[in-house]
């Protein structure tokens, strides 16, 4: 009975479900451990795209914005009002350039997932999320030390005021781990895992659809899987925007927590 | 009646993928319930006090990001398990 179910539920012979090997890329320029591979090329491309977008939009700004300038002004305004001022407060205005650049850079790197001809999310390799998280870690610590003074910042973070003295035995190790270790880890792994999951799901669905199309008997099953694949592409656009938004807003929250002491 | 251990022994060829499925499935239960509660309560708050909707939405996304991270750790671990 059980073996019958297992035999029935197995995929037909010949179908190899794609795994994490689709995230591995070969060297394009140079060879060995340190070389420029396809992902690095896409990252250079995204840097050029971000630079080009901002330069084209704001090199000769018009009083009445049109076209690209209109779009980019909406992006800047969104980051300024919905992220910087909403989370950090009036002091957040000086962080808008950094937050906007990071938002657009992460979004462009994510959206490569569904651009035909590229179809590889740059953020699904650990290097870029890890670097961005390390950058954010350095920034919020430096911002806190500059706003409060290093000793005061560390004391406020590790020994939060308003806690009974005996509880510091418990609170201080938790704060130490959660602020200085877990924050950069979750920040990078969240972005990475979302992009790996999206890339894998899209690959599995499209490869599966192509496999079902190969035999006449399975073509009827290919129609719903193809419809769901198209739906998933739309879902991945949403995930790309949302992950860029979440990364940026968490950066703003960390900076806000560092520069505003809890009395 | 089939003994459970006997069945497990019979599928010994592919225990790794069962483990992967278990890790991700068990890892997703808690965050699933958590995000359900979180969004439900946020919608309730927004309906009760529409003028605070912007603040509630921002906090909701923050909470979702924190809760979701746990499920994603399960997802990453399921690849690490051999």
Determine the Cα–Cα distance for residues A222 and A206; give it in Å rounded to an integer.
Answer: 10
Contact B58 A192 (CB under 8 A): no
pTM for the complete prediction?
0.85
Q: How far is B73 from chain A (nearest CA, A)?
A: 8
Contact A87 B61 (CB under 8 A): no
Question: How is A110-174 classified by DSSP, letter by letter?
Answer: HHTTTSTTT---GGGSTHHHHHHHHHHHHHHHHHHHHHH-HHHHHHHHHS-TTS-GGGHHHHHHH
| 3-class secondary structure per residue, A11-78 | CCCCCCCCCHHHHCCCEEECCCCCCEEHHHHHHHHHHHHHHHHHHHHHCCCCCCCCHHHHHHHHHHHH
Band of pLDDT at residue A29, cut at 50, 70 and 90: confident
Q: How far is A249 from chain B (nearest CA, A)?
A: 8
Considering only CB atoms, B69 lies closest to which of A186, A196, A242, namely: A186
Determine the Cα–Cα distance for residues A109 and A45; give it in Å rounded to an integer.
Answer: 9
**B34: phi then psi, degrees, rounded to nearest 5:** -60, -45
Q: What is the pLDDT of residue B62?
A: 85
> Six-digit token pair at A54?
């901002």
The chain A residue lying nearest B4, using CA atoms, is A2
Helix (H) or strand (E) holding B74: helix B53-80
Chain segment A49-88, per-residue pLDDT in tens: 999 999 999 888 888 888 889 999 999 999 999 899 988 9
Chain segment A104-159, per-residue pLDDT in tens: 999 999 999 999 988 899 999 899 999 999 999 999 999 999 999 999 999 988 88
Q: Is A82 on the interface with B (CB under 8 A)?
A: yes
Q: Is B69 on the interface with A (CB under 8 A)?
A: yes
Residues of B in contact with A192 (CB under 8 A): 76
Q: How far is CA A29 from the centre of its chain?
A: 26
Place of tokens 């990364």: A247
The DSSP code for A213 is: T
Contact B58 A86 (CB under 8 A): yes
Chain segment A170-192, per-residue pLDDT in tens: 999 999 998 899 899 999 999 99
Contact A35, A27 (CB under 8 A): yes
- ipTM metric: 0.70
Helix then strand then coil, in percent of chain B rounded to 5, is: 90, 0, 10
Q: Torsion-angle region of residue A119: left (phi > 0), alpha (psi -120 to 50) or beta? A: left
Q: Is B36 on the interface with A (CB under 8 A)?
A: no
Q: Is B39 on the interface with A (CB under 8 A)?
A: no
Contact A190 B68 (CB under 8 A): yes
Residues of B in contact with A246 (CB under 8 A): 61-62, 64-65
Chain segment B2-32, per-residue pLDDT in tens: 566 555 555 556 677 788 888 888 989 999 9
Place of tokens 């190899």: A16
> Six-digit token pair at A149?
């003074």
Contact A72, A53 (CB under 8 A): yes
Q: Is A22 on the interface with B (CB under 8 A)?
A: no
């Amino acid at each position: 009975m059980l073996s019958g179910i297992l035999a029935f539920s197995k995929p037909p012979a010949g179908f190899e479900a794609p795994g994490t090997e689709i995230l591995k890329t070969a060297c394009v320029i140079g060879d060995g451990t340190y070389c420029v591979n396809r992902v690095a090329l896409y990252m250079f491309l995204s840097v050029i795209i971000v630079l080009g977008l901002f330069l084209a939009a704001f090199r000769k700004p018009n009083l009445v914005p049109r076209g690209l300038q209109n779009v980019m002004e909406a992006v800047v305004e969104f980051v300024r009002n919905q992220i910087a001022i909403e989370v950090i407060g009036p002091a957040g205005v000086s962080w808008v350039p950094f937050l906007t650049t990071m938002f657009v850079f992460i979004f462009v790197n994510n959206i490569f997932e569904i651009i035909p001809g590229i179809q590889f999310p740059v953020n699904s390799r650990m290097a870029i999320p890890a670097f961005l998280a390390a950058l954010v870690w350095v920034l919020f610590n430096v911002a806190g030390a500059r706003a409060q003074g290093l000793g005061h910042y560390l004391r406020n973070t590790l020994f939060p005021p308003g806690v009974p003295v005996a509880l510091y035995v418990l609170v201080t190790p938790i704060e130490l781990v959660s602020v200085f270790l877990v924050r950069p880890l979750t920040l990078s792994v969240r972005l990475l895992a979302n992009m790996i999951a999206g890339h894998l799901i899209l690959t599995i669905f499209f490869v599966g659809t192509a496999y079902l199309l190969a035999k006449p008997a399975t073509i009827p099953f290919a129609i719903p899987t193809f419809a769901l694949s198209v739906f998933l592409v739309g879902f991945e656009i949403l995930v790309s925007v949302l992950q860029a938004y979440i990364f940026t807003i968490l950066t703003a929250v960390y900076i806000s927590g560092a520069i505003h002491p809890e009395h | 009646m089939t003994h459970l251990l006997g069945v497990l022994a019979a599928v010994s060829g592919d225990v790794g993928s069962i483990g992967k499925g278990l890790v991700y499935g068990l890892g997703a239960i808690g965050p699933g319930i958590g995000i359900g509660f979180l969004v439900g309560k946020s919608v309730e708050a927004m309906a009760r006090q529409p003028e605070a909707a912007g603040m509630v939405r921002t906090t909701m996304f923050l909470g979702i990001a924190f809760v979701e991270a746990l499920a994603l750790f399960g997802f990453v671990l399921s690849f690490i398990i051999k």
